[in-house]
Structure 1
């Protein structure tokens, strides 16, 4: 029911705008009576749907720091009972308790906005909005069609919110769509990616065991993004790539295992029955773990290209609906000029590309892509937490 309501509001902009305005007025009045607690930090990942990504990496770093030993750490979740956290408390998002803590917390840490789109201005708080990936597809109101566009008369640029960028490429986009000063956007990469440069072979072995992956086979990770204009009869977003998994298994099954990870905003993905070749890992708790155990990755218009490139492993593009996607959503980059791989529009082309590729050559192309679009990877969590401490000292 919650997803249906959210999808309905996303596709009915006028109603959503009214809801936002009412909520903003209500919270502004409430803020007059709620004092900020200087030692409370509120965390949320993907609107409370996850316990992962950059907010989790920042949380882990904060838990290690002596400076935060007496801070109250609170995670907001859609389903708090689903997660166990080693330190702190949990709150159900979009409830009275959540909005009360939102007004009280000195520090907000999120990857897609903490105030539920209300754009609440609370003097004295520190906002950390890492975002959740370098944009290949258009975002933030710059989409071509079928996406929410909030246009307001913004004059003064945001200098206070702590944001992260992987390179000058996404820093430029973020400064524009968030109306932010470039200097406030850290060239740090994303905290979630720190781990990609620190994994061990023992970890790979353990993750494969956890996922029941044959250690003698190569692993292909497929990470298709969502199409917000594809809505089923239940008002759910879905994807339906033109693939025949029996064909994939016949061609690739002896040497490879396929992991399919749908975008977090997809409610209804392929109906996949796990077997010894294909596994649906859309609900698996750690995307990084999937990156780490994969020998190569397939995607389409996803930010996963920028993250996975840090590993310098082969990447493939399966853009079966490229013209439709460019028309309805829009892309910042020309795929054939920017990605370190061919643009395959059919599954036969893609399978042939995988079977005929030189692993070392493709890895080298990915490495060059990484050096262009994610050259700062490795230490983002420390950089962000240091920036939080810096702001805490400011008066």
Structure 2
């Protein structure tokens, strides 16, 4: 019931307008009576669905940083019972207690939104947004008017918005109408792990996933199509793939890791045999999947930008590019930057087979390096950079 109500608010403009104006008025009125807790930091990831990504990287670093030793760390989750914290408190998102905690917190740290589509911020809150990907598909003020993912009425009161490049900073500043200087090229905290990944780390990730030495691991991580929904207004995803062809064509020494976007319903109809094709959509760490894999296949997902840090082949499987570009809009044609493009499943499988040859593999690596140099200017020190900004802004002295 709650999921259906949230989908209705998200995709029905009149319902969202009512929710926004009433909720925003109430919280800004309540704020007049709430006192800021200068030692309280509130976190969430993907609206409370997860305990991962850049907010978790920042949280774990704060636990080790003496400058934050006397702070309370509170995580907001949709289902708190699913997560455990070593040093922190949990709270259920979208409750009165959640919004009251948000008004009290001195610092907010999120990769999406803590305001839940409303327009409020605490009286003295320092709002850090790491976002959850580099923009390839259009967003915010750049969205086409007919797009069902209409922009929030919220004015986005961020104080720090982390990016990996000037390319990102310019887009985010425009689409979220941010003041100059809010977007900083700090690097994304979650990607420090990718920049620092070692051979030992790769071996550990592969062992954890049950990938044998010598196996080729292909990570298939497509994005969702918000214009494809079921009767419950949930996004569905059914690519033109006949999964039984993959092990037959690529060989049983190849394992396919399928990472569906969190917005999608599990409609991909994966085979029951998990030996060669595995659904890793619920696997906690996308970084571990990227580190463990040998090749990435995606379409319009920001995962391309993060994966490029690892300097491994990336393949574009944009079979519906014209339809997607017409419905959502793109900042540039991703097909020009890597092998693949608007190809069929058969062409994709032939391409993946060709990458088993060392010369073809290395050529694809060089295309990835070119992409990284263009779009990822800063990586490896994101956590450190963000902690230093927060400490300076809230006047923490070195301890």
What band does the TM-score fall into relative to the shorter chain? Answer: over 0.9
Mapped contact 2:42–2:105 kept (Cα < 8 A):
yes
CA contact (8 A) 1:171 1:185 kept: yes
Q: Distance in 2 between matches of 1:381 and 1:257?
A: 33
| 1:71–1:151 distance in 2 versus 1, CA, 3 Å | closer
Q: CA deviation at 1:318?
A: 0.6
2:380 alignment partner, one of 360, 378, 381: 378
Within 1, Cα distance between the matches of 2:154 and 2:99? 26
Alignment match of 2:362 (pick from 360, 363, 367): 360
* Counterpart in the other structure of 2:64: 64
Using the TM superposition, name which of 207-216 and 278-287 deviates more: 207-216
Question: In 1, distance between residues paired with 2:206 and 2:130?
Answer: 29
Distance 2:352 2:251 in 1: 12
Give the total of aligned pairs.
390
Report how far residue 84 of structure 1 moved. Answer: 0.9
Structure 1 residue 10: deviation in Å?
1.9
1:230 aligns with one of 228, 231, 237: 228
Preserved CA contact (<8 Å) 1:166 1:188: yes
Counterpart residue number, 1:172 = 170
Aligned to 1:113: 113
Q: Alignment partner of 2:138: what SS?
A: coil
Secondary structure of the residue that 1:39 maps to in structure 2?
Answer: strand
Does residue 197 (structure 1) correspond to residue 198 (structure 2)? The answer is: no
Structure 1 residue 105: Cα displacement = 0.5
Instruction: Report whether the alignment pairs 1:28 with 2:48.
Output: no
Change (3 A) 1:290 1:391: same
In structure 2, how many angstroms separate the alpha carbons of the residues matched to 1:48 and 1:330? 28
> Are the equivalent residues in 2 in contact too, given 1:141–1:147 (CA < 8 A)?
no
- Say if 1:119 and 1:190 are closer, same or farther in 2 by CA, change over 3 A: same
TM-score normalised by structure 2 residue count: 0.94
Query: What RMSD over aligned residues (CA atoms) do the two structures have, in Å?
Result: 1.7
Write the distance in 1 (CA, Å) between the matches of 2:212 and 2:317: 25
Question: Could you tell me how far apart the structure 2 residues matched to 1:247 and 1:310 are?
Answer: 30
Task: Write the deviation string for residues 348-391 of structure 1: whole angstroms up to 9, x where unpaired.
Answer: 11111111231111111101111111121110011011000111
Normalised TM-score (structure 1): 0.95
- Do the aligned partners of 1:262 and 1:269 also contact (CA within 8 Å) in 2? no
Equivalent residue, structure 2, for 1:277: 276
8 Å contact kept, 2:234–2:263: no
How much does 1:151 deviate? 7.5
Structure 1 unaligned segments of length 5 or more: list them. none
Partner residue, 1:79: 79
**How much has 1:152 moved relative to structure 2?**
6.1
1:323 to partner: Cα distance: 1.0
Q: Helix, strand or coil for the counterpart of 1:388? A: helix
**1:146 alignment partner in structure 2:** 147
* Residue 274 of structure 1: how far off its partner (Å): 4.5
Would the aligned equivalents of 2:316 and 2:335 in 1 still touch at CA under 8 Å?
Answer: no
Compare 285-294 and 328-337 and name the one that shifted more. Answer: 328-337
Taking the TM superposition and a 5 Å limit, the aligned residue runs for 1:119-138 are 119-138=119-138
Match of 2:287 in 1: 288
Change (3 A) 1:316 1:267: same
* C-alpha spacing 1:386/1:143, structure 2 compared with 1 (3 Å): same
Counterpart in the other structure of 1:10: 10
Per-residue CA deviation, residues 93-142 of structure 1 (Å, 9 max, x unaligned), is 00111111111110000000111111203331100011100011111142
* 8 A contact 1:344–1:350 mirrored in 2: no
2:316 matched to 1:317?
A: yes
Instruction: Report deviation, 1:2.
Output: 2.5
Distance 1:183 1:275, change over 3 A: same
What aligned pairs does 1:237-256 form with structure 2 within 5 A after superposition? 237-256=235-254
SS at match of 1:147: coil
Q: Distance in 2 between matches of 1:87 and 1:151?
A: 33
Change (3 A) 1:386 1:274: farther
- Report the 3-state secondary structure (helix = DSSP H, G, I; strand = E; otherwise coil) of the residue aligned with 1:355: helix
* Contact 2:117/2:153 (<8 A) preserved: no
